[in-house]
Chains A and B, each alone.
Chain A
Amino acid sequence: MNPETRRVAVLGGNRIPFARSDTKYAHATNQDMLTAALDGLVDRFGLAGERLGEVAGGAVLKHSHDRDLTRESVLSTRLAPETPAYDVQQACGTGLETAILVANKIALGQIDVGIACGADTTSDAPIELNEELRATLLEANRQRSTSGKLKTLARFRPGHVVPRIPRNEEPRTGLSMGEHTAVMATEWDLGRAEQDELAVASHKNLTTAYERGFFTDLITPYLGLERDGNLRPDSSLEKLAKLKPVFGGPEGTMTAANSTPLSDGASAVLLASEEWAKEHDLPVLAWFSEAQTAAIDHVHKREGLLMAPAYAMPRMLDRAGLTLQDFDYYEIHEAFAAQVLCTLKAWEDEAFCKEKLGREAPLGAIDRAKLNVNGGSLAAAHPFAATGGRIVAGLAKQLHEDGKGRGVISICAAGGQGVVAILEGPEGATR
């Protein structure tokens, strides 16, 4: 095995604008959207007919008939059909995890180029057969005699036609992600105003980024949508203050505006070795330099469900020999404004850093002006597996605009997991 590892380049990305659930993409499937995102990437980088090392992709809400979603999507594009692909599923960490997987194979020299991608739809969500009906049908199928089959089928009850609709809840706690985050918000004593401020900043930054043409080579319009459907350029603290809380009861601080809405979308990122980029005459936007995944015990140790990135970050920083302040950009996925704020508070908190992270000193505060500078999930919305690709491509482009610098990505995921990664500018990290 090759003992040397190689630098991994982010060459660019493409996504479709994200749509709010049941709007423009109501009739698009995950495969349609993933295909559209890949199509745009293939067109932009002239990949038609190319056999890539691999395409890793995924979706969080997946139909049982979407077996090998990524492979089937690849076969719908103009990529060489000889390009292998596989599905990944790690809740909202899926998108960033696919980038880590592809990057690691490139670093090891197993492949030279690959695509990391993801899609999610809450409009075309899977609805399952009623569990009892499913069990009855399977049991009838196991019966050999016709009378046995009929006897089993006689167990059918009218109530069995009521399908099972997937709920956004943690299997082991029964609480929704919003409810879990409301608990975190209370624990960390978050106010309503700071959450709303983060939401307003997200819309403002995303609007500015659109206005300066930042997304021209990152987004391909789809089905009549040219910008993210959730974006509210006129969002303001006054407007947001009027909203009623949706999580945490009547005294709660979390609203529909400082939580991400259900949405549909897809994204894709092109990663390659330095040599491949050179051979194809493609500029390096950024280097994918570090990554870390962590998980916490939200069930028995009652850790905050979405606090895993707080643990992943110091482990990655220690390995990289960096401090939390060594970054020019912080891309913290805004699943909820509360998640971002709890994470930042935890890193500043002496007790948390000492007791939970086992560190002598807290990681410290970050310069908030460097946070989600081109908008975050609160404004763009969050089609689960598509968020990682949106962030990687956006941060890489920002670093390329600057030439130098360093950015960090942090994404929380259901099941008490978190994924973090570091990108460095094409000419290095130091500014």
Chain B
Amino acid sequence: MPIETRKLTSAPSILPLYARAAAPLVPGASLLPFVPGGGGEIPEVRLELDGVRADPDAVAAYARVCGFALRDHLPPTYPHVLAFPLHMALMSDGSFPFGAVGLVHVANRITQHRRLGIGEELALRVQATKLAPHPKGRTFNVVTEVRVGRQIAWESTSTFLRRGKGDPSAASGEAFPTVPEETPASAEWRLGGDLGRRYASVSGDRNPIHMHALTAKPLGFPAAIAHGMWTKARALAALEPRLPDAFAVDVRFRRPILLPARVEFASADDGDEIDFTVRGRGEKRSSRHLDGRVKAKTGKAK
């Protein structure tokens, strides 16, 4: 079946999408045609949005919350924010097999082929891949491309886990490098109880698990948890002066960070590669929240 392409003329507005994304949590709602759910396969739909320009004031607010300096190019994680409304639209479509609220973001890989200028006109392409078996359920990827003209300048793959009947024989993913526990931390971060709300206001990601303990509890978390993409952005901000212009950064989201929190950041630089981790402090070091690796990209952009 060919991929259905839907061209959008403006970024979808996020809040109504959340209502639909959360609707499958209401028993029986998935039987309605406009509510996602009902299982089945992921629709082969590609969403496209052209003529996107980052708003410098919004970039400034995002940079402040994540710890980036406000430069003339976008923070490497920022295109994810630009594409987020498309992710939501994709996953809250009536044909989507399950609701976005309740999915677990387990991994994200960003490849920045070159720096994106704040004023550059970007074209976004978002599509989801087929379901794959996982020991704890099933996973799928949401793939985002950012083009400038005809060139792919930035791309990302977010992997989501839909918890459910797993396939114990499925590989849980390749071994992922981690910073050894004995590597001393380079920084300690104090994360406020309002971090989820602050990041929500600059990213648009208002998933209830990040907003407040009262909204996180019904979804199984004792407190609001930090956004995985904030944690990734904060880590890249800490590494910012060492990041090359072109690089790939792959992360695995491990244990959620319950807010407020004090966590450690540690990294190990090996020339072309930088491994990093966000983990508990002191005795809780073995409890890792995020593992990541930055790899310089050489050669021409695609």
Interface set of A (CB-CB < 8 Å, partner B) = 24, 26-29, 31-32, 35-36, 39, 75-78, 81, 220-224
B270 at the interface (CB under 8 A from A): no
- In the complex, how many angstroms separate the beta carbon of A392 from the nearest chain B beta carbon? 23
Chain B: interface size category: 10 to 19
**Interface contact A36-B57, CB-CB below 8 Å:** no
Question: B59-71: contact bitstring with A at CB < 8 Å (1 yes, 0 no)?
Answer: 0110110000111
- The listed residue with most A CB atoms (<10 A of its CB), out of B56, B64, B118, B119, is B56
Which B residues form the contact surface with A (CB < 8 A)? 56-57, 60-61, 63-64, 69-72, 118-119, 240-242
- Minimum distance in angstroms from B248 CB to a CB of chain A: 19
Q: How far is the CA of A35 from the CA of B71 in the complex (A)?
A: 8
Contact of A27 with B241 at beta-carbon distance under 8 Å, contacts A76-B69, A223-B118 already known: no
Contacts A27-B57, A27-B61 given; does A77 touch B241 at CB 8 Å = yes
Residues A36 and B72 in contact, CB atoms below 8 Å apart: yes
B168 CB, min distance to chain A CBs, angstroms? 47
> Nearest chain-B residue to A34 (Cβ)?
B69
* A–B Cβ pairs within 8 angstroms, 18 of them: A26-B57, A27-B56, A27-B60, A27-B61, A28-B60, A28-B70, A32-B69, A32-B70, A32-B71, A36-B70, A36-B71, A39-B71, A75-B241, A76-B240, A78-B242, A221-B72, A223-B56, A223-B118
B residues less than 8 Å from A78 (CB atoms) = 241-242
Question: Are A224 and B69 CB-contacts (below 8 A) given A24-B56, A27-B61, A76-B240?
Answer: no
In the bound complex, how far is the Cα of B61 from the Cα of A381, in angstroms?
26
Return the chain A residue nearest B117 by Cβ: A221
Q: Which residues of B contact A32 (CB under 8 A)?
A: 63, 69-71
Question: Are A222 and B61 in contact, CB atoms less than 8 angstroms apart?
Answer: no
Cβ contacts under 8 Å, A220 to chain B: 72
CB contacts (< 8 Å) of A29 on chain B: these are 70
* Chain A minimum-CB-distance residue to B72: A222
Among B61, B69, B72, the residue within 8 A (CB) of A223 is B72
List the 9 closest A-B pairs by CB distance, nearest first: A27-B60, A32-B70, A35-B69, A76-B69, A222-B72, A223-B56, A224-B119, A28-B70, A78-B241
Cα separation A221 to B120 with both chains bound (whole Å)? 13
Closest beta carbon of chain B to A15's beta carbon, Å? 13
Contacts of B64 in A (CB 8 A): 27
- Across the interface, do B70 and A223 meet the contact criterion of CB distance under 8 Å? yes
Closest to B53 in A: A224
Of the candidates A27, A29, A77, the one having the most CB atoms from chain B within 10 angstroms of its own CB is A27
* CA gap between A77 and B118 in the complex, in Å: 18
Set of chain B residues within 8 Å of A26, measured between Cβ atoms: 57
Q: Would you call B118 and A27 a contact (CB within 8 A)? A: no
Cβ A224 vs Cβ B60 within 8 A: no
Q: How far is the CB of B139 from chain A (nearest CB, A)?
A: 37
Q: How far is the CA of A26 from the CA of B56 in the complex (A)?
A: 10
User: In the bound complex, what is the Cα–Cα distance between A29 and B68 (angstroms)?
Assistant: 12
Contacts of B119 in A (CB 8 A): 224
- Pair A224/B56 contact, Cβ less than 8 Å: yes
List of B residues within 8 angstroms of A27 by Cβ:
56-57, 60-61, 64, 70
Residue of B nearest to A24 (CB): B56
| Alpha-carbon separation in the docked complex, A78 to B69 (Å) | 13
Q: Tell me, rounded to whole Å, the shortest Cβ–Cβ distance linking A50 to chain B.
A: 13
Q: In the complex, how many angstroms separate the beta carbon of A370 from the nearest chain B beta carbon?
A: 34
Chain B residues contacting A75 (CB-CB under 8 Å) are 241
Cα A26 to Cα B70 in complex, Å, equals 12
Closest to B64 in A: A27
Which of the residues B61, B69, B72 comes within 8 Å of A31, measured between beta carbons?
Answer: B69
User: Which of A35, A39, A81, A224 has a CB less than 8 Å from the CB of B118?
Assistant: A224
A302 to chain B, nearest CB (A): 44
* CA gap between A257 and B63 in the complex, in Å: 35
B142 to chain A minimum Cβ distance, whole angstroms, is 30
Give the Cβ gap from A401 to chain B, nearest Cβ, in Å. Answer: 27
Shortest Cβ distance from A55 into chain B, in angstroms? 14
Bound complex: CA of A76 vs CA of B238, how far in Å?
Answer: 9
B116, chain A: closest CB distance, angstroms: 14
**How many angstroms between the C-alpha atoms of A26 and B118 in the bound complex?**
15
A216 vs chain B, min Cβ distance (A):
16
Q: What is the bound-complex CA distance between A91 and B27, given in angstroms?
A: 67
- Which residues does chain B contribute within 8 Å of A35, judged by CB atoms? 69, 71
Closest to A28 in B: B70
Closest to A29 in B: B70
Nearest Cβ on chain B to A225's Cβ, whole angstroms: 9
* A residues less than 8 Å from B56 (CB atoms): 24, 27, 223-224
Q: Would B57 and A76 count as touching, CB distance under 8 A?
A: no
Q: How far is the CA of A111 from the CA of B71 in the complex (A)?
A: 29
Contacts of B72 in A (CB 8 A): 36, 220-223
> Taking the nearest CB of chain A, how far is it from the CB of B265, in angstroms?
15
Determine how close the nearest CB of chain A comes to the CB of B166; give it in whole angstroms: 44
Complex formed: what's the CA distance from A105 to B168 in Å? 68
Q: Which of B61, B240, B241, B242 has the most CB of A within 10 A?
A: B241
User: What's the Cα separation between A31 and B63 when bound, in Å?
Assistant: 13
Residues of B within 8 A of A28 (CB): 60, 70
CA distance A77 to B56 in the complex (A): 20
Determine which residue in B61, B69, B70, B72 has the highest number of CB atoms from chain A within 10 A of its CB, and name it. B69
Once bound together, how far apart are the Cα atoms of A222 and B64, in whole Å?
A: 17
CB-CB under 8 A from A81, the residues of chain B are 241
Tell me, rounded to whole Å, the shortest Cβ–Cβ distance linking A228 to chain B.
16
Knowing that A39-B71, A76-B241 touch, tell me 13 more A-B residue pairs with CB under 8 angstroms. Answer: A27-B57, A27-B64, A27-B70, A28-B70, A32-B69, A35-B71, A36-B69, A36-B71, A36-B72, A220-B72, A223-B56, A223-B70, A224-B56
